Amino acid sequence: MKNIRKNVDDLRSQIGYHNYRYYVLDDPEIPDAEYDRLLRELQSIEKEHPELITPDSPTQRVGALPLKEFGEIKHKLPMLSLDNAFDEQEVSDFDRRIREKLGLDKIEYTAEPKLDGLAVSLLYENGILMRAATRGDGMTGEDITQNARTVPSIPLRLIGKDFPKLLEVRGEVYMTKKGFEQLNERAREKGDKEFANPRNAAAGSLRQLDPKVTATRPLEIACYSIGIVEDGKMPARHSLILKKLREWGLRINPEIKTVSGAKGCMEYYQVIAKKRDGLPYEIDGVVYKVDSIEQQNEMGFVARAPRWAIAHKFPAQEEMTVIEDIEIQVGRTGALTPVARLRPVQVGGVTVSNATLHNEDEIKRKDVRKGDTVIVRRAGDVIPEVVSVVTAKRPKGLHKFEMPTQCPVCKSEVEKEEGEAVVRCVAGLYCPAQRKEAIKHFASRRAMDIEGLGDKLVDQMVEQGLIKDIADLYSLKKEQIAAMERMGEKSAENILKALDKSKQTTLARFIYALGIREVGEATAQTLADELGSMETLRHATEEALLELPDIGPIVATHIIAFFSEKHNRDVITKLQKAGVHWEEGKTTAESDVLKGQTFVLTGTLSAMTRDEAKDRLQALGAKVTGSVSAKTSYVVVGTDAGSKLAKATKLGVSILEENEFLKRLSHWEK
């Protein structure tokens, strides 16, 4: 048995090495037939000795059963997006900002093509692939582990021994032009629908619920960075990190190059632009990253993008067509977005029939009218937009476009804040376009805490017409819930119990659950503490609201607009009639030990959740907010703390590590 195990290990090692030669180095040592012989020999031994099969065996790339749905994975370190540059001046400005911030004359950058695919995260533990996730919204992605395992250029086990115990690798999964054409050729032969472009094909292939389908798709990966690293040391330069990833068997783009200054970036851009059409894959620009990791850390981040990296996009392709109509779409947050319905036109190889007009201000600035001939481009090679109007071709008598004064979906009033471009429907509790998001927020843990009422269930109920507004939740019948997909009588009973339990709440939770714009938990608590009743809040004037702590004119305007809409008031009345109740009267904290002090929690606490810490601090009279400012009293820091810690340090705010926080909390609660 010992000899058999050794033979299996040798075969796996050989196959791993030849995968590395083929996919990473693009320099195979043996013909395909010899590789197939090694794989068949391993499969034969594992069939006779299934106890020797391991998850990282080359034979185990495909084999998992189809999923019913993808699970969610929260990224410990956010997968940030990049800011864009569209011309040489913006690249020069990017370089200048970095030089000024770091006090240096010249910066070294790593430059690489910007692949047009799907960003993914691969987590290796002790060199073995344990998990794969999509980027998602940057904070949470989908668990695509089984599908990622089918991609031949994603190693199931790393090569070598000097990799960290825990290593998160980030890359772009894409489809080559040749693979895309072959995929569509097969679709045509079967009479199936063809994919629009390689990016859509790659994204759709990686998000198949059946990994066996994904395994038939010609997917590849190019790794471009790392995320979480534990128990291991990485090089001090980004270019050397990529080189190290390559040594461990991870594929990187062969066009990566280290360049010097803005001039070096532009020279690289010109070279890649000339190569673009001849490359075997689609790209929509190039990416520049500060090469020094120390300098990256010093530059830090702004909003959801790093200051030390930028995507330099290629010029978008443009075409001319006619606007046949202008329609208004209402988004999940109530934003009214004008959309141009176009006479279909080919732009960059894709048929475009719709284009965004962004907002009312943009329409007025460009003077876009129904019937106009316009120039359309796919901004960033992805989102179609109207660039300009060809006024010389404008027919006589076209009327100027006017934004509606009522929501086209629910006929409620709309509002537009001073200084904002977006027009919004204020009937958040009533408007069908906002219905799903309003219900999901209402049921969330920090709002009404309706356990078991997840996103998928809400989607089903709304789509089947069982819920017209949040108050309808409390009139649901057991048989209606039990009839939902993946539900039954027991699950339905649990949902009804959770709904009944949620009827007894607090005024602060209820206010927060209503989803009024800009009214978060802290503001909801202030309104409950200071006003004491829903009736007082409903009739509060702007002047009265502005007298409350931390209530500014924008928040006051949103509150007034929300309660001035009859639909919203009716839903609240309906909820109260359904039995939702709370104690009224101005509230006070259990203690005023921390009255007047403001806390911010960041990172993961080991002794309690952040929500538990927040509740205990508020019980002591403290205010707990989500952002750090000069007025913040303390920032409580757990593991994997992010930008809030950096900002607190910069502002000189007092920082409490978890152990110190627990000691003080114990003292404050005595």
Tell whether the model's pLDDT for residue 579 goes beyond 70: yes
Specify the long-range contacts of residues 395-399, CB closer than 8 Å, at least 24 apart.
395/371, 398/369, 398/370, 398/371, 398/372, 399/369, 399/370
Tell whether the model's pLDDT for residue 507 goes beyond 80: yes
Q: How does pLDDT run across 194-209, given as a tens digit for each residue? A: 776 788 888 888 888 8
Please give the pLDDT value at position 422: 83
Average pLDDT over residues 515-532: 87
Please give the pLDDT value at position 262: 96
Specify the long-range contacts of residues 649-653, CB closer than 8 Å, at least 24 apart.
653/628
| Confidence band of 52 (pLDDT split at 50, 70, 90) | confident
Please give the pLDDT value at position 179: 92
Structure tokens at 409: 């979906």
Tell whether the model's pLDDT for residue 162 goes beyond 80: yes
Tell whether the model's pLDDT for residue 588 goes beyond 60: no
| Confidence band of 245 (pLDDT split at 50, 70, 90) | very high
Separation between Cα atoms, residue 159 and residue 418, nearest integer Å: 58
Please give the pLDDT value at position 67: 65
Separation between Cα atoms, residue 334 and residue 230, nearest integer Å: 43
Tell whether the model's pLDDT for residue 64 goes beyond 80: no
Q: What share of the chain is helix, strand, coil (3-state, %, to 5)?
A: 40, 25, 35
Return mean pLDDT, the chain: 87
Tell whether the model's pLDDT for residue 380 goes beyond 60: no
Please give the pLDDT value at position 22: 66
Please give the pLDDT value at position 160: 86
Average pLDDT over residues 92-109: 95
For 604, which DSSP code?
B
The one-letter amino acid at 522: A
Please give the pLDDT value at position 351: 83
Neighbours of 31 (CB within 10 A): 9
| CA-to-CA separations, 565 to 125, 426, 515, 643, in angstroms, rounded | 54, 7, 14, 38
Select from 94, 439, 2, 555 the least CA-distant residue to 288. Answer: 94
Specify the long-range contacts of residues 523-526, CB closer than 8 Å, at least 24 apart.
523/550, 523/551, 523/555, 525/618, 526/550, 526/551
Alpha helices in 151-280 (DSSP H): 177-190, 198-206, 211-214, 238-247, 261-275
Least confident piece of the model among 47-56, 139-148, 164-173: 47-56
Whether the CB-CB separation of 288 and 110 falls below 8 Å is answered with: yes
> No. of H helices and E strands in the chain?
24, 26
Ramachandran angles phi, psi of 541, nearest 5°:
-85, 165
| Confidence band of 641 (pLDDT split at 50, 70, 90) | confident
Please give the pLDDT value at position 589: 55
Please give the pLDDT value at position 585: 67
- DSSP codes of every residue in 313-339: EPPPPEEEEEEEEEEEEE-TTSEEEEE
| CA-to-CA separations, 210 to 69, 218, 361, in angstroms, rounded | 10, 15, 45
Q: What residue ranges define each of the domains in the chain, with the CATH number in brackets?
A: 2-60 (1.10.287.610), 84-309 (3.30.470.30), 318-393 (2.40.50.140), 432-582 (1.10.150.20), 598-668 (3.40.50.10190)
Name, of 456-465, 495-504, 577-586, the range with top average pLDDT: 495-504
Question: Who's near 68: CB < 8 A, 6+ residues apart?
Answer: 209, 486
Select from 232, 258, 256, 11 the least CA-distant residue to 112. Answer: 256
Q: How does pLDDT run across 457-475, given as a tens digit for each residue? A: 988 898 888 998 899 999 9
Q: How does pLDDT run across 596-629, given as a tens digit for each residue? A: 888 999 888 888 888 888 888 988 888 888 778 8
| Confidence band of 409 (pLDDT split at 50, 70, 90) | confident
| Confidence band of 348 (pLDDT split at 50, 70, 90) | low
- Find the largest Cα–Cα distance for the chain: 88
Tell whether the model's pLDDT for residue 361 goes beyond 90: no
Please give the pLDDT value at position 595: 82
Separation between Cα atoms, residue 404 and residue 142, nearest integer Å: 38
Whether the CB-CB separation of 510 and 534 falls below 8 Å is answered with: yes
Task: Provide, rounded to the nearest whole percent, the portion of the chain with pLDDT above 70.
Answer: 94
What would the 3-class secondary structure string for 562-600 be? HHHCHHHHHHHHHHHHCCCEECCCCCCCCCCCCCCCEEE
Tell whether the model's pLDDT for residue 110 goes beyond 90: yes
By CB atoms closer than 10 A (0-12, 13-18, 19+), residue 300 is middle
Please give the pLDDT value at position 268: 97
Q: How does pLDDT run across 281-293, given as a tens digit for each residue? A: 989 899 999 999 9
HSE toward the beta carbon, residue 397, CA cutoff 13 A? 0
Tell whether the model's pLDDT for residue 63 goes beyond 60: no
> pTM for this one?
0.52
Please give the pLDDT value at position 26: 62
| CA-to-CA separations, 648 to 142, 634, 661, in angstroms, rounded | 32, 9, 16
Average pLDDT over residues 385-396: 89
List the catalytic residues: 114
Whether the CB-CB separation of 436 and 453 falls below 8 Å is answered with: no
Question: Who's near 466: CB < 8 A, 6+ residues apart?
Answer: 472, 476, 480
For 434, which DSSP code?
G
Please give the pLDDT value at position 119: 93
- DSSP codes of every residue in 631-664: T--EEEE-BT--HHHHHHHHHT-EEEEHHHHHHH
Least confident piece of the model among 55-59, 80-84, 94-98, 130-134: 55-59
Q: How does pLDDT run across 315-330, given as a tens digit for each residue? A: 767 788 999 999 998 8
Please name the residue that has the structure tokens 């039995």.
579
